[in-house]
Amino acid sequence: MNEIDLRHLRRCVELAAEALEAGDDPFGSVLVAADGTVLAEDRNRETSESDPTRHPEIDLAKWAAANLPVEERAGTTLYTSGEHCPMCSAAHGWVGLGRIVYAASSAQFAEWRAELGLPASPVSPLPIRQVVPGIAVEGPAAELEEVVRGLVRRSAGR
């Protein structure tokens, strides 16, 4: 993970904070092309759209399916504040997107949620590579652990 990766991850954390301000869960993601161009970004919209599947990772996979030529998808990198859930990992794999870089892992979120007394996710926190074996994955980013953990703590206090 290099400085460019961290810059994109910091934007994901900003989007996660925007989601929290809007009453949604604090998650944000950015899709970047092979040449470094930011193609699209999104944030969690579960509460505001009354749809628990409105995770930014699956929304960006669907954006790519609609807008990105098949031959460009494998060269992309999907940055995200939190590791993909199995639903989003599967969408990423089906659409054929490339590397994933996340700030905090599903295991970290599960641990933090348990510490805060929040209910466990209804979906198993399977690591991305258990769902999409062939994909390159990097994370967590120790530099961003405390800020992401702080967002989870704030979401618990709503």
Nearer to Zn ion, 8 or 45 (CB): 45
Nearer to Zn ion, 37 or 93 (CB): 93
For β-strands 38-43 and 77-82, DSSP reports them as: unpaired
Q: Least distance in Å: CB of 58 to Zn ion? A: 6
β-sheet bridge partners, residue 28: 43
Dihedral angle over CA of 96, 99, 102, 105, nearest 10: 70
Which positions touch Zn ion (CB under 5 A)? 55, 85, 87-88
The least CB distance from residue 121 to Zn ion, in Å, is 9
Minimum distance, C-beta of residue 128 to Zn ion, in the bound complex (Å): 10
Tokens 């759209």 -> residue: 49
Q: Which of 82, 66, 68 is nearest to 34 (CA)?
A: 68
Q: Which is nearer to Zn ion, 4 or 120 (CB)?
A: 120
CA nearest to 143, candidates 21, 7, 25: 7
Smallest separation, CB 6 to Zn ion (Å)? 22
Q: Closest CB to Zn ion among 85 and 101?
A: 85
